[in-house]
């Protein structure tokens, strides 16, 4: 059953989300060719701790790191390591924060130096689909209104939406009901109500929507080896336009 948050809970969630947003801005500033994703992970953990919070992903179901770093054909859940970022790469960074037992979650895909026009279009389309999905997240709409908006943007651009992983409720736990597919499913899906906090997160592939999981049992990659992008915000459903919580 989905969780409706009261005013006090929303304020706590808002605090966690603000740390998420500020951390992603900080990481954008320090990402450049030559740095390792492990170094980015270390900086992220220090940043969150200085804000009196905890990295929500670390040790979550055994995940070993504080952030997810997914490069090029890696879709989500990439484990930071010793790979040095190169000009032309795209890097998806997914961040979760736990402050006082309340959670925020967001992701962004960052170009490393100059990237190809095709990758640029992929990033622009994925981010655009996120905001179109958020436009559908209003009181008395349904999850399908979010899903349809995202899929329409993505497929008009000639890309595909990942089916195996979806968005979710968030706030008092890192993952809550309801699931939020980024593609159309039968029926209208759960009703959206004021006070719901949701993580909307399109994962968009340049080629096929099919994905596989690498031998580390975490990193999800595109089946055809083509690039993927990932953008995510935590939002609050309201009577009118949704409030994006993971912004500064």
Estimate the crossing angle of helix 143-156 against helix 117-135, to 10 degrees. Answer: 160
Q: Would you state the pLDDT for residue 2? A: 72
Q: Return the number of other C-beta atoms located less than 10 Å from residue 50's C-beta.
A: 9
pTM across the whole model: 0.97
Tokens, residue 106: 């967001």
Over the stretch 127-151, which tens digit does the pLDDT of each residue have? 999 999 999 999 999 999 999 999 9
Residue 107 has what DSSP assignment? E
Closest C-alpha to 69, from 22, 125, 126, 31? 31
Q: Quick one: how far is CA 188 from the chain centroid?
A: 23
Give the chain's domains with CATH numbers: 7-244 (3.90.230.10)
> Which of helix, strand or coil describes residue 174?
coil
Over the stretch 157-176, which tens digit does the pLDDT of each residue have? 999 999 999 999 999 999 99
Tokens, residue 233: 């915000």
DSSP string, 22-43: HHHHHHHHH--TT-BHHHHHHH
Q: Would you state the pLDDT for residue 68? A: 98
Q: Would you state the pLDDT for residue 3? A: 79
Tokens, residue 30: 């320090």
- Residues in the chain predicted with pLDDT less than 50, given as ranges, are none
Q: Would you state the pLDDT for residue 1? A: 57
Q: Would you state the pLDDT for residue 6? A: 97
Q: Which residues contact 215 (CB under 8 A, 6 or more apart)?
A: none
Q: Would you state the pLDDT for residue 237? A: 98
26, 77, 179, 186 alpha-carbon torsion, rounded to 10° = 120
Over the stretch 65-87, which tens digit does the pLDDT of each residue have? 999 999 999 999 999 999 999 99
Closest C-alpha to 99, from 66, 58, 61, 52? 52
Q: 243 has which bridge partners? A: 236
CA 185 to CA 71: how far, in whole Å? 29
H helical segments located in the chain:
7-30, 37-50, 117-135, 143-156
CA 23 to CA 145: how far, in whole Å? 30
């Amino acid at each position: 059953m989905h969780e409706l948050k009261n005013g006090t809970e929303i304020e706590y969630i808002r605090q966690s989300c603000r740390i998420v947003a500020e951390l992603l801005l900080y990481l954008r500033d320090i990402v450049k060719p030559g740095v390792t994703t492990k170094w980015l992970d270390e900086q992220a953990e220090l940043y969150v701790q200085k804000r009196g919070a905890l990295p929500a992903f670390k040790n979550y179901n055994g995940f070993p790191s504080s952030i997810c770093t997914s490069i090029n054909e890696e879709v989500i859940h990439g484990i930071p390591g010793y790979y040095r970022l190169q000009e032309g790469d795209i890097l998806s960074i997914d961040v979760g924060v736990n402050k006082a037992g309340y959670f925020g979650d967001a992701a962004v895909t960052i170009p490393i130096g100059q990237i190809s026009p095709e990758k640029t279009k992929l990033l622009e389309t994925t981010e655009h689909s996120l905001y179109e999905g958020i436009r559908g997240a209003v009181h008395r709409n349904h999850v399908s209104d979010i899903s349809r908006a995202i899929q329409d943007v993505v497929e008009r651009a000639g890309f595909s939406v990942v089916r195996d992983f979806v968005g979710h409720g968030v706030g008092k736990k890192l993952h809550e009901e309801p699931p939020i597919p980024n593609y159309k499913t039968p029926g209208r899906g759960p009703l959206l109500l004021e006070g719901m906090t949701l993580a909307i997160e399109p994962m968009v592939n340049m080629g096929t929507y099919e994905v596989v999981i690498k031998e580390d049992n975490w990193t999800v990659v595109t089946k055809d080896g083509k690039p993927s992008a990932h953008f995510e915000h935590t939002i609050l459903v309201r009577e009118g336009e949704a409030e994006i919580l993971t912004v500064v």
